[in-house]
Structure 1
Amino acid sequence: MIDFLLGSLGILVTVPLLAWIMVYWITRKITRQQKRSFMVATDVTTFFLIISVMVILYTIWENTFLWPIVILILLIVISITVLYWKRDEDIGLSKIMKTAWRLNFLLFSSGYLVLCLYGLVIRVMALN
């Protein structure tokens, strides 16, 4: 059973789009709300994207880049906090974290695509 769970987790980290589809489908069946299901799937998949980008970075350059990723996430949270503070002067922690987390989804999904293409090109070039 442990092997099955670890294998499933490995697949979801390797292919985060599959994680998004699975979470969306399950939450859509439970809630019957398209927008809510989309947002929940996005929130869950962000975690898998961050781990996936770290794995790809390690595969390409043999370095985890953990601290730059943590610093990047913190900078995003700080930037959004300052923007909300300048705009509304009322800082809602849940709103800030939700916005930062979804911005991280966009950033890391873009990074995932770019790094996958880069890694693919590098491996094909190495074959020649």
Structure 2
Amino acid sequence: MTMLANVWAYFWGTLTVVPFLGFPLVYLVVYGWKRDKKLAGRWAVNITNFLLIRSVVAAYGIIWPQALSAWWWVVCFFLITIALLGWVQVKFKGKLSLKKVGFSAWRLSFLWFGIVYIVLFTTGIVKTMGVV
């Protein structure tokens, strides 16, 4: 591999292991580019959410290699969350806005996958320590 490919691989590997590192990186880049704190914060949360989902899927696959793919759990989480939020919205407002439900599910997934990441990270450490 070339040096640039190695740097890129280490960068993505680092962001997979520590996805929260993506938040300040994206925030600083977007803020430096657009000079808008609110936009930089939104971009940072969205990109960090993608990194969290990627990290959770990778950690799940490493901890339980023979289990069902974690992507199915991610899809099920989003489908169930969207269905429940849609039901609540129809119940209280009388109409459904898929845009609002989608944004709400995406924001809740940041919290959910952050918690799942921490649980899987500690589970991986404990499992590895048990092997040694």
Q: TM-score range by the shorter chain?
A: 0.7 to 0.9
Over 6 Å off, 4+ runs: none
**Aligned counterparts of 1:60 and 1:28: Cα–Cα separation in 2:** 37
Instruction: Please state whether the residue corresponding to 2:95 is helix, strand or coil.
Output: coil
- Tell me the equivalent position of 1:125: 130
Change (3 A) 1:30 1:84: farther
Q: What RMSD, in angstroms, separates the aligned Cα atoms of the two structures?
A: 1.9
Cα 1:70–1:17, aligned 2, differ >3 Å: closer, same or farther?
same
Q: Does 1:35 align with 2:29?
A: no
Q: Match of 1:8?
A: 11
Give the unaligned 5+ runs of structure 1: none
Partner of 2:21: 18
For residue 2 of structure 1, report the CA deviation from its aligned partner: 4.6
How far is 1:116 from its partner? 0.5
Separation of aligned partners in 2, 1:65 and 1:85: 30
Per-residue deviation, 1:66? 2.4
Q: Which deviates further from its counterpart, 66-75 or 95-104?
A: 66-75
- The CA distance in 1 between the partners of 2:49 and 2:20, in whole Å, is 10
Counterpart of 1:54, as a letter, is V
Q: 2:120 aligns with which of 92, 105, 115?
A: 115
Number of aligned residue pairs = 127
- Report 1:29-68 matches (<5 A): 29-62=32-65, 63=67, 64-68=69-73
State the SS of the aligned residue for 2:43: helix
Residue 46 of structure 1: CA displacement? 1.1
